[in-house]
Every structure is written in C-alpha cells, then in structure tokens.
Amino acid sequence: MLANLNDGEKGLSLAYLIREWIYSSTTYRKESDMFSLTTKWVQRIVCVATILLPLGVSAEVPWQFADKTRYMAMGDSLAAGYGAIPATQGYAYLLYKEGVFDHVPNTLLSSVGLIGATSQDVLEKQVPLAINPFVPTVITITVGGNDLAAILGGADPTTVLLNFQANLTAIFSQLQSGLPTAQIYINNLYDIPEIPQARPVVQAFNQIVEGVAGAFSVPVADVFSAFEGRRGLLLIQRHGADQFEVHPSNAGHRAMANAFKAVIQNN
C-alpha cells in the first residue's frame, strides 16, 4: 500500500498508524488477557519493521570529533579554576560557556590545568597531551605563578627566570610544531599588593612572557592591567584570608576571562 505513495503521504500514513497503535495500547492495558496483549505488541513490531525497511529510513550523520572546535586550557591551578566557587566559574570554563571560541554545542573543552604546575610541568606533561590525542584548535596557557613562588620561597631568581624562559620557549615551539594551525593565547601574571616583594618578580616574569610570546606571535592577555588597582579579585583580600591565598576569587576569574576575551576578539 505504501509503495504507491509519495514521501509526504508515507509520512502521514506512518503518523496515522503510530497514533492508532498508541491509542490501541491504552485499550489493551485495561484488558486482563496478557496473552492477547503480548500478541498484539509482537504484531506491531513486525509491522513497523515491514513498513520502515522499504522506506529506506536513513540514519543520522554520526558525530564527528574532527568537526568540533577543541579548546584546551593548559597551565597551573588558575587554568583548573582553583579559587572559583564552583570551579566551573574559573576563567577557562567561562570562556567555554560563553562561546568565546565557538558555539557551545560545537565546542569540546579539555582542561589539563594542574594545581602546583610549573612551566616545566606544562612542558613535560601537558604539551604531549595537547599534541596527541586531543589536538586542540584553540589553547590558553596560564603559567609562571608557581615558578614565581619558588623565588619567593628562596630559590635563586636568575636560575628560575632563565629556566622559565627556556621552558616557555620550548612550550611554544613544540605546540606550534605539533599543532601548526592551533590558536595559542597566554596571559601575563597579576600583581599581589599584599606581598610587596612579589611585584618586581612579577614584572620580570611578565617581561619574559611578552618577549617569548612576541617571538612566536602568540597574543598575550593582559591580566596584570586587568587586576591593577582593583580589590576583591584575590582571595587574600577577603577578611580573615590566609596570607598565602593568592588565587583569584570568582570576580578575579571573571577579570581573567575578560582579558582573554579582549585579546581573542582582536586576533
């Protein structure tokens, strides 16, 4: 019967049959004869198969990983959303949720940021994850805070800064070599007014970030300026906060996201 119908008529016929089956199933639920109920459903299943096979019902195109925008957030605890409550209010998640790189349904997020990660950790552990298997199309990097902490803890500044420069150079070099079409962004470090001795070290790190990033044509999100002169962006500025709680608050992560967004939209 359906073979002589066009596609629109077939659709109407199927809709009619399905409606009738749903109606009849309600009637059968009121019967006490379970054998009759089972027999009727078997007949329906066979009938559906008989109708659909000749129609050549096509399957939906399968989901393709390669077609998606793949965003990887690399770096330390800031990239992992530490300090934000919940962590999904971290800057990387904000960039993802707000569709900065692409529409959310078309974006895959991989956050490999790790609490305590140094530039050496990013180079040795996170860069390989980016090149294979995730193969991101967009990368944000937040690194240097834990290298800086080593200096504040008594490590030799010259040694730490030279190592940071070498590591950052290798990070960009390997990423651009392994992922030649990926867009890479990095942020500079914010100052911590509550730790005055940190400011000159922060400035030294930021000079390295600017220099190395410039050599590889990697845009820099100016987080330093976004935090400068503002309060409430760091957890250490809360009443009764621990003196070493230097991570951003929710407002701080928002400021970081805005700094990244500004540089992304201009490149």
DSSP string, 33-49: -HHHHHHHHHHHHHHHH
Residue 13 vs residue 103, higher pLDDT: 103
Is the pLDDT assigned to residue 24 strictly greater than 80? no
What was the pLDDT predicted at 97?
Answer: 97
Domains and CATH numbers, the chain: 2-55 (no CATH), 65-265 (3.40.50.1110)
Size (the chain), residues:
267
Cα 45 from Cα 27, distance rounded (Å): 17
126 is written with which tokens? 């996170």
State the Cα torsion 157-163-169-173 to the nearest 10°: -160
Say what the pLDDT of residue 248 is. 97
Contact by Cβ (8 Å): 131, 175? yes
Whole-number pLDDT of residue 81: 98
Task: Report the pLDDT value the prediction gives residue 62, as an integer from 0 to 100.
Answer: 55
What confidence score (pLDDT) does residue 213 get? 99
Q: What backbone phi and psi angles, to 5 degrees, belong to 244? A: -110, 10
pLDDT of residue 63: 55
For residues 95 and 257, the answer to whether their CB atoms sit within 8 Å is yes
Q: At residue 55, does pLDDT exceed 90?
A: no
Mean pLDDT over the full length of the chain? 84
Condensed to tens digits (0 to 9), the pLDDT of residues 102-140 reads 999 999 999 999 999 999 999 999 999 999 989 999 999
Q: Where are the alpha helices (DSSP H) in 62-219?
A: 91-97, 119-121, 127-129, 145-152, 157-178, 198-215
DSSP symbols for 227-239: HTT--SSBGGGST
Give this prediction's pTM: 0.76
- For the four alpha carbons of 192, 196, 201 and 203, in that order, the dihedral sign comes to positive
* pLDDT band, very low/low/confident/very high, at 167 (cuts 50, 70, 90): very high
Share of the chain above pLDDT 90, in %: 71
From the centroid of its chain, how far is CA 191?
A: 26
State pLDDT tens for residues 177-236: 999 999 999 999 999 999 999 999 999 999 999 999 999 999 999 999 999 999 999 999
Of 61, 85, 221, 43, which is closest to residue 141 (Cα–Cα)? 221
